[in-house]
Every structure is written in structure tokens, then in C-alpha cells.
Amino acid sequence: MFKGYLAFYYGWTDKEISDLPIHKAREYFDAMEVITARESLEKLSVSDYGNSKKSGRDKIFKHFSKRANPIHMQKQMSFEDFAKAMKNG
């Protein structure tokens, strides 16, 4: 199952996986689990967005806004400003 997960997730062949030292393969497997769990948490946040209070929506928006834009490009924008920009755009 271990090799199957690595092959599916990373698109590697059996030989590519077999050529990896076991500790490296394990690092990639652990990273895969972390990435997958983070993606699931993000999906949960987004799916609950409409049911959240304003403060919760602002927190989710700020979180994804920071992650989507590198530090040097970040411009703080409220959710209301974002919604207005989307209506006008």
C-alpha cells in the first residue's frame, strides 16, 4: 500500500520508488499526509464559509489571502472591499 500511495500521489513509477532510500520514501509519504490533511482542513473552512459569522469569514479570508500572496505582494483588503471589487470587476 505504501508504494501505491507514493505512486498515485506523486506519479512515480515502481522503479523510482524502489530506488529511493527508505527514509526518503518515508519523508515523502509523511509530507503527502500533511499536505492532504491541510487541503481537507481548507475544504472544511471553505464549505462552512457561508454559515460562519462575519468574524469567522474575515478570518478565513485573511488566512487564504496571506497564503495566496507572497509577503512582498500582500495588500490588506477587507472582505467587504474584496466583495465590492468582485462586483465592479
Q: Which of 35, 5, 1, 3 is nearest to 16 (CA)?
A: 3
In this structure, are 57 and 33 located in the same domain?
A: no
**Are 62 and 40 members of one domain?**
no
Residue 75: what pLDDT? 62
The answer, yes or no, to whether residue 19 has pLDDT greater than 90, is yes
Helix, coil or strand: residue 45: helix
CA separation for the pair 17, 7 (Å, rounded): 7
Q: pLDDT value at position 70?
A: 62
Whether pTM > 0.85 for this model: the answer is: no
What does the pLDDT read at residue 7? 95
Selection from 75, 79, 76 nearest residue 60 by Cα: 79
For 3, the domain range is 1-47
Q: Dump pLDDT digits (tens) for 24-68.
A: 999 999 999 999 998 998 898 889 888 889 898 888 888 887 777
Same domain, 26 and 66: no
Both 1 and 32 in a single domain?
A: yes
